[in-house]
């Protein structure tokens, strides 16, 4: 039995980060003779920002953190103990990804596996660089030194495939985010069975306060007025008057409720990459606000699945708002891309087919 260690951003209080880790481990575990666990690596500099908040917010954030920790422990196969350096050669394969593990502006050099034994087998799955094409060349020496040691390399965004192939002199593929490797029914076991809301609603899932927040609120309010639907949102400090028909703040909910809200919403309005992916997965009509730092991943997604018209960055005339998404085409593309992505994993892990 091959033992695979997955190195990723599992420790963030972020639904997408946790769910991509869950999905990748689950997919690898169903491959013949493979067993995976998530390496419990947490950077030394990673600290929770709870103490920057008032007491009430601190308590709520601690509650949310516990929900994430419970989910990880129950479903994600985390190694023990927690470590701050990945070294030696404890696994048959080390798999880095997914998420922005190679965004050196956010991450840690440990995601390049610089301290492993020379004979350790390294692969990446849907690793994301998350920097502009110009910025990433400032770090080309780092990539050439470490990523060139990887046996097989795949990225989540097409934009940096040529960079890796040129700098590291290795073949590189663009593959799906791990969350899309699972089918809709695969998530049933981790979605809450509670009937959280008893009437139709729009989910406004916003990741952070940015320059587009007020544009997003104006947009979702327009959608709400057109369809007569209340709004569930994730703006933790929102005032009730900000949203047309405010139906509750769900910022502090756990992973199981996050999935329930996306699956059961009449619409999703978001600036989140993974909220977009799960809207596609659950066939929930959506609009995604484009953010500059997300442009490469959204461009890859839009082109693969034909959803350019669901990407917005400003007000849209109410008459042009609709729920007309060709989910049949998206599903067809998902089947093709899913097979290609799993074939990459099989080859990278030397799985005999």
Region of 223 (left: φ > 0; alpha: ψ -120 to 50; beta: rest) is alpha
Give the distance from CA 140 to its chain's centroid. 25
Two structure tokens written together for 236: 């933790």
Q: Do domains 2-181+335-348 and 185-322 have the same CATH topology?
A: yes
In this prediction, residue 266 has a pLDDT band, given cuts at 50, 70 and 90, of very high
pLDDT (0 to 100) of residue 210: 82
Q: Which fold has domain 2-181+335-348?
A: Rossmann fold (3.40.50)
The CATH architecture one would assign to domain 185-322 is 3-Layer(aba) Sandwich (3.40)
| Pairwise pLDDT comparison (198 vs 61), residue with the higher score | 198
pLDDT (0 to 100) of residue 45: 66
pLDDT score of 58 more than 60: no
In terms of average pLDDT, the best of 32-46, 75-89, 140-154 is 140-154
pLDDT (0 to 100) of residue 59: 60
CA distance 331 to 325: 11
The reply to whether the predicted model has a pTM over 0.85 is yes
pLDDT (0 to 100) of residue 106: 79
Distances (CA, A) of 25 to 49, 156, 348: 28, 17, 15
pLDDT per residue as tens digits for the range 109-130 = 999 999 999 999 999 999 999 8
pLDDT (0 to 100) of residue 313: 83
Q: Which of 37-51, 163-177, 225-239 has the lowest mean pLDDT?
A: 37-51
Two structure tokens written together for 30: 């169903």
pLDDT per residue as tens digits for the range 303-344 = 999 999 999 987 788 888 999 999 999 999 999 999 999 999
Question: What's the mean per-residue pLDDT of the chain?
Answer: 91
| Pairwise pLDDT comparison (204 vs 297), residue with the higher score | 204
pLDDT per residue as tens digits for the range 131-179 = 888 899 999 999 999 999 999 999 999 999 999 999 999 999 999 999 9
In this prediction, residue 65 has a pLDDT band, given cuts at 50, 70 and 90, of confident
Environment class of 74 (CB within 10 Å of its CB; exposed 0-12, middle 13-18, buried 19+): exposed
Q: Which of 80-84, 86-90, 174-178 has the lowest mean pLDDT?
A: 80-84
In this prediction, residue 53 has a pLDDT band, given cuts at 50, 70 and 90, of very low
Q: Among residues 278, 243, 245, 246, which one has the least CA distance to residue 262? A: 278
Domain ranges of the chain: 2-181+335-348, 185-322
pLDDT score of 211 more than 90: no
Q: Which of 16-30, 40-54, 95-109, 117-131 has the lowest mean pLDDT?
A: 40-54
pLDDT (0 to 100) of residue 264: 96
In this prediction, residue 51 has a pLDDT band, given cuts at 50, 70 and 90, of very low
């Amino acid at each position: 039995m091959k033992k695979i260690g997955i190195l990723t951003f599992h420790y963030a209080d972020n639904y997408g980060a946790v769910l991509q880790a869950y999905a990748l481990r689950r997919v690898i575990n169903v491959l013949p003779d493979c067993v995976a666990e998530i390496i419990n690596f947490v950077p030394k500099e990673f600290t929770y920002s709870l103490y920057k908040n008032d007491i009430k917010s601190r308590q709520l954030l601690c509650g949310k953190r516990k929900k994430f920790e419970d989910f990880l422990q129950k479903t994600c196969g985390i190694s023990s103990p927690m470590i701050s350096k990945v070294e030696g050669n404890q696994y048959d394969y080390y798999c880095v990804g997914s998420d922005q593990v190679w965004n050196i502006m956010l991450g840690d050099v440990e995601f390049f596996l610089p301290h492993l034994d020379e004979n350790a087998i390294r692969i990446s799955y849907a690793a994301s660089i998350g920097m502009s094409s110009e910025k990433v060349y400032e770090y080309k020496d780092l990539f050439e030194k470490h990523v060139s040691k990887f046996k097989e390399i795949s990225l989540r965004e097409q934009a940096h495939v040529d960079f890796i192939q040129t700098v590291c002199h290795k073949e590189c593929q663009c593959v799906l985010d791990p969350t899309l490797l699972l089918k809709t029914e695969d998530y049933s076991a981790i979605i809450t069975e509670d009937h959280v809301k008893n009437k139709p609603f729009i989910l406004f899932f916003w990741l952070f306060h940015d320059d587009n927040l007020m544009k997003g609120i104006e947009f979702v309010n327009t959608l709400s007025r057109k369809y007569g639907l209340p709004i569930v949102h994730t703006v933790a400090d929102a005032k009730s008057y900000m949203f047309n028909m405010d139906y509750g703040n769900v910022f502090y909910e756990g992973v199981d409720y996050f999935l329930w809200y996306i699956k059961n919403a009449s619409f999703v309005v978001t600036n989140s990459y993974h909220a977009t992916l799960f809207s596609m997965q659950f066939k929930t009509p959506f609009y995604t606000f484009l953010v500059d730092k997300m442009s490469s991943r959204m461009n890859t997604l839009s082109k693969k699945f034909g959803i350019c018209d669901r990407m917005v960055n400003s007000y849209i005339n109410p008459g042009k708002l609709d729920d007309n998404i060709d989910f049949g085409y998206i599903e067809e593309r998902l089947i093709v891309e899913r097979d290609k992505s799993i074939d990459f994993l099989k080859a990278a892990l030397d799985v005999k087919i």
